[in-house]
């Protein structure tokens, strides 16, 4: 006898809670569920989120420490080689900007500062520059987690970053191996896997996720999820494409809020104990359903992204409180207006 919708959904949740593979066929079924079942899906899968993280929401602040002029051709990225997007381009910012960002993170209640640099991968000089900036941040606030996202890593670079106080390293797989050539041909899916492995081997907490809305199929969504499971990341950022004018994917807008929630549900089921983070594009694609995303993910970015604006920090904090969640680590110190971080160029201009 065919199982009911409720029974199949319960089976997925129980499998995830017990640490078993929920099953590709069942996850594919979930991705294809009708929109009118969205609330049932969120309610059921939220049990997995609450089992591991309660009502806590981890806040992360992103700082773009080097912008534009990237030699890679990632079709989704406004900083890529062939992009004509109107963005700011600058060399690595100075230590003062690292410290200002960390101070702002503390004010907002964020416990992790994510340092992101454009480019294929860091030079040894850039690694040293980042290391000095991180050391300055850690000297002022030893509790602030630092995540670096600098591109493809060479041997020994993860170890140097770890010595300086970097806790985690982000390098997303972004999509499935079979779809990867459709979005980039200047490096490979295997290159990305190797960098996550190097970060982990170098003692850094692996952070790797994906980007959806680029024309991928359901099979690609699941392939990306299972490829990430093999890497066993501690945190899994889920991005939704912001189709920026001047990039090859400009004008592509195939996501709905319900589709985004189903994708988040799939990744929560695949990663029951990992930090699942709603990252870029949540404001654009989840829109008024953003609070429902908190029932699936336990982490968000607060503030702006690399080259696009995010929701106002005050609005994010209100959303978290209104939905009955609490900021991990105690929440913001106050509600005053926060000025943008001034970018002060460093020695690598």
Catalytically active residues, by annotation: 70, 74, 77, 114, 147, 207, 277
As a whole number of angstroms, the distance between CA 289 and CA 156 comes to 43
* Of 314, 325, 279, residue with least CA distance to 76: 279
CB 34 within 8 A of CB 256: no
* Rg of the chain over all Cα atoms, to the nearest angstrom: 19
Question: For residue 50, what are the contacts with CB-CB under 8 A and spacing of at least 6?
Answer: none
Q: Kindly report the CA angle at 268 between 262 and 270, in degrees rounded to 5?
A: 105
HEC per residue, 91-155: CCECHHHHHHHHHHHHHHCCCEEEEEECCCCCCHHHHHHHHHHHHHHHHHCCCCEEEEECCCCCC
CB 171 within 8 A of CB 211: no
As a whole number of angstroms, the distance between CA 165 and CA 105 comes to 17
CB 88 within 8 A of CB 36: no
CB 193 within 8 A of CB 173: yes
């Amino acid at each position: 006898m065919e199982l009911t919708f409720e029974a199949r959904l319960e089976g997925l949740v129980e499998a995830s809670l017990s640490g078993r593979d929920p099953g590709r066929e069942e996850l594919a079924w979930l991705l294809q569920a009708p929109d009118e079942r969205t609330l049932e899906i969120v309610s059921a899968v939220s049990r997995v989120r609450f089992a591991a993280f309660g009502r806590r929401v981890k806040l992360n602040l992103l700082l773009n420490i080097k912008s534009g002029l990237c030699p890679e051709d990632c079709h989704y990225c406004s900083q890529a080689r062939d992009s004509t997007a109107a963005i700011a381009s600058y060399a690595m910012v100075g230590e003062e900007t690292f410290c200002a960002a960390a101070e702002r993170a503390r004010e907002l209640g964020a416990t992790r500062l994510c340092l992101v640099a454009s480019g294929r991968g860091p030079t040894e000089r850039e690694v040293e520059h980042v290391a000095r900036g991180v050391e300055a941040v850690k000297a002022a606030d030893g509790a602030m987690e630092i995540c670096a996202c600098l591109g493809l890593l060479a041997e020994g670079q993860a170890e140097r970053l770890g010595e300086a106080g970097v806790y985690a390293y982000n390098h997303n797989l972004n999509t499935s191996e079979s779809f990867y050539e459709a979005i980039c041909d200047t490096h490979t899916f295997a290159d990305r896997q190797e960098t996550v492995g190097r970060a982990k081997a170098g003692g850094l907490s692996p952070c790797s996720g994906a980007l959806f809305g680029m024309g991928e199929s359901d099979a690609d969504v699941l392939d990306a999820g299972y490829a990430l499971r093999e890497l066993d990341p501690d945190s899994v950022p889920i991005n939704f494409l912001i189709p920026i004018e001047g990039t090859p994917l400009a004008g592509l807008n195939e996501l709905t809020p319900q589709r985004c929630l189903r994708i988040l549900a799939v990744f929560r089921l695949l990663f029951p104990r990992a930090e699942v983070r709603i990252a870029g594009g949540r404001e654009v694609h989840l829109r008024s359903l953003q609070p429902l995303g908190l029932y699936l993910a336990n982490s968000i970015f607060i503030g702006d992204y690399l080259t696009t604006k995010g929701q106002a920090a005050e609005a994010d904090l209100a959303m978290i409180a209104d939905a009955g969640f609490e900021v991990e680590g105690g929440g913001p110190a106050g509600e005053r207006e926060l000025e943008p971080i001034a970018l002060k160029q460093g020695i690598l201009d």
